Structure 1
Amino acid sequence: MHKPLLVTEFLDRARNHYGDAEAVVATTGDRFTYDELGERADRFSAALQKRGLEKGDRVAVLDPNTHYHLEAAYGTMQTGAVHMPLNYRLTPEDFSYMLEDAEVDAIYADYEYADRIEPIRDEVPTETFITNNADAVEGEWEAFEAVLEDAGTDYSRPEMSEDEIITINYTSGTTGDPKGVCRTHRAETIHAYLITAHQELTDDDIYLWTLPMFHVNGWGHIYAVTGIGAKHVCTRGVDAGDIFEAVQTEDISYLCGAPTVLNLLIDYYEETDPETTGANDVRIATAGSAPPEATIRTVEDEFGWYLKHVYGATETGPLITTSDARRTFDDDDAARFAVKKRQGVGFLGTEIRVVDEDGNDVPRDDASIGEIVVRGNQVMEKYWNKPEETEEAFSDRVEGYYHMGDLATVDENGMIAIQDRKKDIIISGGENISSIELEDTLFDHPEVSDVAVIPAPSDEWGETPKAFVVPQSGDPEQPGISADDLVAYTRENLATYKTVREIEFVEELPTTATGKVQKYELRQEEWEEEDRMVGQG
């Protein structure tokens, strides 16, 4: 039997079996059952259709981890429209490109972030603007609650196919404009099934939203947590004290966080010695860069939490591997930390290979380095309106596999460990930063003659952007501008998280005979005291 896999079925199932159960603890203090969450999603669906939106239209959501995000997402997808979550750390210029590129028909924006849409609203095709606090926003915005009240609950759910695009998640590319990652009902559904299994989700889980919902739909947790009938505890950002308090007061059993979040929690724990659990055991998933063994040890031995290290990319669902291979370690054995640092083994139904430049698998000797390629049902369909980039992503070394751009080794058990990056990208605190974009920004400054940006090791962020700048004066001792001024310049022109953190003035950059900058030499120098050329937590 073939039954279509549709993302709408996750909320349908929760309403059917857990209608009276608490579904969401909102940042406003409100609490909603699954019946109530479903009704609010229905009202959002009806509101969109009354404003002329149809199946296939795009609806952008700019929101931290609130109940409004969940309602807007499901309300959008129930109409067959495409859910497009936006990274709230970006600039108006970033949003302008994405909204125009995707030809977005409506946008819901949280009141704290609507001011980043207001300056560009005349530049984008959007006609419907909704916010959760219209009184706090300049311009003409409809109020979310009034929109829901006026809409009623009647809407028409169109017939949908599992192969249709249902979400677009924009990712910053290493070159060129941002790319819209198109994901189908089928891909989202299978990914949610996979994380339900590998992250061991059950209906009595209580999930704390520390991971941004805009990150590939919260790593698929907007689906999986809902479909399994578990509880969402929403947040408006990451605060270590609030996390520990929520763990205790809401009896959190599961959360996610990049290594930087783990570091924040550890710092707070060492300063204040909070209680680390409530009534439930706690497990936490981390990804981005591999956390150091000391971090894992503190989380597990002192917090008493169980850590799962996972890996992936926006294009792959995101999650494709896990280090939670318990037959390779004992829970009370310190040797487990070395295993948990690795990116691990492939998820069910996911084919992970590490291949050399000829597309051949490297030996399982934990020494030979190749690029990670993946094939699985959770991998994206395509990039929105970018056929050439799509073709390249799936056909570089091996035809038909998505190429991750990460270089890794494989051990005898088939567990991968990232050693370096092929892509010109920096992963700082779990956020992807294009070094090319930073270089282009710095090049625009009149006091900069040449520049190269690389990742530098950071205890706090795993890795952080560092710029080697050849000043226009030609003299690194008298550059004509301060490093602080150049840092401020990037902050003024880019999203805050993309800001270059360190500037080193140099007389010249290392180049090849043809004049190409040898960033590898700069990276080797920066990372010579590290055991690999990627950041760790």
Structure 2
Amino acid sequence: MKQPLLTTDFLDRAVNLYGDDIGIVANDGTEFTYNEVGERIDRLSNALRERGIEKGDRVALLSKNSHYFIETLYATMQLGALFVPLNFRLQPEEYDYLVDDCDPTVFITDAEHAGNVTHLRGDNDVTEWIAYDAENADGDWEDYERVLEAASAESPDRPDISEDDEATILYTSGTTGDPKGVVHTHRSQHYHSMIHSHHVELEDDDVLLWTSPMFHINGWGHIYGLTGIGGKHVIVRDFDPATVFERIDEYDISFMGGAPTVLNMLLEHHENHDVPTSGENPIRVETAASPPPKQTIRRTEDELGWRIIHAYGATETGPLITTSNSRRRIQDGDKYDIINKPGFETLNTEVRVVDEDGNDVSLDGETKGEVITRGNQVLDRYWNKPKQTDEVFNDRVEGWFHTGDIATMDENKMITIVDRKKDIIISGGENISSIEVQDVIYDHPDIKVAAIIGVPHEKWGETPRAIVVTDEGSELTEEELIEFTRERLAHYKCPTSVEFRDDLPQTSTGKIQKFELRDEYWGDGEDGVN
């Protein structure tokens, strides 16, 4: 018997089996049972339908972590519409392209970020503007709670939704031009959530602390997997180490995400404050982004008593395609070396490392190649970008998604990422396109040649550094160039340092040889993944 794999399956199971249990604890401490969550979602769905949302339409959301993020996702998807969460860290003008590209009918935001998108009104096809806490929002917005109150609580009639229908568009950093909208279907999100739930060992008594941004690939699938398993979501709107430890103690947290930067900040806070690190539940922490240093892993496990699960993937791959969570491998080898690796392929996933000709590299842990993958959790396509879609699936090997990441694979088929072909910098868990930053720097009239690379940073793992050649006679300073970029880009993307040189290493065709620049800062160390 074949049943369609839909994202709404996770919500339905939570309401049917765990309806009277607390499903979400909002940032302000308000508790919602899964029955209450389900009713609020139905109200929002009915309100969206009244405002013209039909199957295939888009609903955009701009918000930090919140209970209404989860509500908007499910309310949109059970109508067969596409959910489009946007990065709340962007500058106002950076939303122009995203909104024009996905063309939403409804735009929902929280009061804090409303002012960043009010300039969009009248320049696109958005017909409805809704804000959480609208009275404190900049501009004229419908209030989210009043919209829910006025809508019917009856479960809406769902359209005929196929598992191959689009469920969400997730924008990833543009490496060669504009950002790309990654389209995931109900099937791909469903599959990833099931695979992910297994590898991070989710159970119905798990309590998840939301320390990772929900807009990142729909929170790595926790919105689906943890909901379907009947676990409890505890929301943290703004990451703060003191708040994290308070919530751990108050709600007996058992699971959370933690990029290397997050782990280092928590370790520093724990070192300086006498705070409990867990309740009765043991804590598992899933880390991704750039590989955490072994010392960070060791300290997290030894000093905080938390178990690290390292994973790897991309927005396009669901995201997770590998995991280091293997008791057998850890028992047989160097524990911290194993956990430090992105790991081996997850269930129902194929991962290869191939050379320029598309042949598998030797399993020696030294020979480098590009990571390619295929699996049910991989993206359907890029929104409105057929050429880029064709390229990413057929570069070295036809029919495989090409990650652009360079890695080695050992005899246990565990991969280690050693470089990124796309020149993405991962700073504090955020992907930064060096090309995007360079384009802005080149807009400065004094800049002759520029390169952006990731350099080591104690707090953020790595951070953008601008290495530039200026026109003769220029008196441009480091502070002036950084401020120039901060006026045009989200601040996390901007260089934190600038180096002025007479020239940069280039090929005969004029291409800057960034690997030479990176080697000056990373050397032969285990980092340098940029």
TM range (shorter): over 0.9
For 2:420 and 2:200, the matched residues in 1 are separated by 27
Structure 2 unpaired stretches of 5+? none
The yes-or-no answer on 1:93 pairing with 2:93 is: yes
Structure 2 partner of 1:439: 438
Q: How does 1:101-180 map to 2 (within 5 A)?
A: 101-154=101-154, 155-180=156-181
Which stretch of the first structure deviates more once superposed, 264-273 or 353-362?
264-273
Q: CA deviation at 1:510?
A: 1.2
Q: How does 1:259-274 map to 2 (within 5 A)?
A: 259-274=260-275
- SS of alignment partner, residue 113 of structure 1: helix
Give the residue type in structure 2 aligned to 1:412. Answer: E
Give the residue type in structure 2 aligned to 1:346. Answer: E
Q: CA deviation at 1:532?
A: 4.4
For 2:219 and 2:81, the matched residues in 1 are separated by 19
Any idea what the Cα deviations from partners look like across 1:72-102, whole Å, max 9, x if unmatched? 1111111111111111001222211111111
The one of 478, 488, 496 equivalent to 2:491 is 496
Which stretch of the first structure deviates more once superposed, 510-519 or 525-534?
525-534
Give TM-score, length-normalised by structure 2. 0.98
Is contact 2:364-2:410 (8 Å) kept?
A: yes
Give the residue type in structure 2 aligned to 1:34. Answer: Y
Which stretch of the first structure deviates more once superposed, 96-105 or 117-126?
117-126
For 2:234 and 2:509, the matched residues in 1 are separated by 55
The yes-or-no answer on 1:250 pairing with 2:251 is: yes
Any idea what the Cα deviations from partners look like across 1:339-380, whole Å, max 9, x if unmatched? 111010110010000000010000110110101001110000
Q: CA deviation at 1:121?
A: 2.0
The yes-or-no answer on 1:316 pairing with 2:311 is: no
For 1:260 and 1:175, the matched residues in 2 are separated by 27
Structure 1 partner of 2:378: 379
Any idea what the Cα deviations from partners look like across 1:284-341, whole Å, max 9, x if unmatched? 00000111111111111111111100000000000111011110123xx992001111
For 1:419 and 1:166, the matched residues in 2 are separated by 33
For 2:237 and 2:57, the matched residues in 1 are separated by 28
Q: How does 1:507-526 map to 2 (within 5 A)?
A: 507-526=502-521
> How many residues were matched structurally?
529
Q: How does 1:43-442 map to 2 (within 5 A)?
A: 43-154=43-154, 155-330=156-331, 335-442=334-441
For 1:9 and 1:167, the matched residues in 2 are separated by 16
Q: CA deviation at 1:260?
A: 0.5
For 1:334 and 1:236, the matched residues in 2 are separated by 39
Identity percentage of aligned residues = 52
Any idea what the Cα deviations from partners look like across 1:105-161, whole Å, max 9, x if unmatched? 101101111111112222222111111111111221000110001111233211100
Give the residue type in structure 2 aligned to 1:461. Answer: W
- SS of alignment partner, residue 456 of structure 2: strand
Q: CA deviation at 1:424?
A: 2.0
- Structure 1 279/140 Cα, relative in aligned 2: closer, same or farther at 3 Å? same
- SS of alignment partner, residue 406 of structure 2: strand
- SS of alignment partner, residue 64 of structure 1: coil
Which stretch of the first structure deviates more once superposed, 520-529 or 85-94?
520-529
Aligned-CA RMSD value: 1.2
Is contact 2:110-2:137 (8 Å) kept?
A: no
The yes-or-no answer on 1:5 pairing with 2:5 is: yes
Any idea what the Cα deviations from partners look like across 1:493-537, whole Å, max 9, x if unmatched? 0011101111000011111122222222212222215234316xx
Is contact 2:288-2:311 (8 Å) kept?
A: yes
Is contact 2:111-2:138 (8 Å) kept?
A: no
For 2:312 and 2:306, the matched residues in 1 are separated by 19
Give the residue type in structure 2 aligned to 1:223. Answer: Y
For 1:250 and 1:501, the matched residues in 2 are separated by 37
For 1:54 and 1:329, the matched residues in 2 are separated by 50
Q: CA deviation at 1:450?
A: 1.5
Q: CA deviation at 1:273?
A: 3.1
Give the residue type in structure 2 aligned to 1:21. Answer: D
Structure 1 partner of 2:37: 37
Q: CA deviation at 1:437?
A: 0.8
Give TM-score, length-normalised by structure 1. 0.97
Is contact 1:96-1:123 (8 Å) kept?
A: no
Q: How does 1:444-483 map to 2 (within 5 A)?
A: 444-473=443-472, 479-483=474-478
Is contact 2:114-2:139 (8 Å) kept?
A: no
For 1:366 and 1:504, the matched residues in 2 are separated by 35
Structure 2 partner of 1:531: 526
- SS of alignment partner, residue 425 of structure 2: strand
Is contact 1:420-1:532 (8 Å) kept?
A: no
- SS of alignment partner, residue 519 of structure 2: helix
For 2:511 and 2:48, the matched residues in 1 are separated by 51
Give the residue type in structure 1 aligned to 2:323. Answer: T
For 1:328 and 1:322, the matched residues in 2 are separated by 12
Q: CA deviation at 1:397?
A: 0.8
Is contact 1:92-1:120 (8 Å) kept?
A: no
For 2:423 and 2:248, the matched residues in 1 are separated by 38
- SS of alignment partner, residue 168 of structure 1: strand
- SS of alignment partner, residue 111 of structure 2: coil
- Structure 1 249/63 Cα, relative in aligned 2: closer, same or farther at 3 Å? same
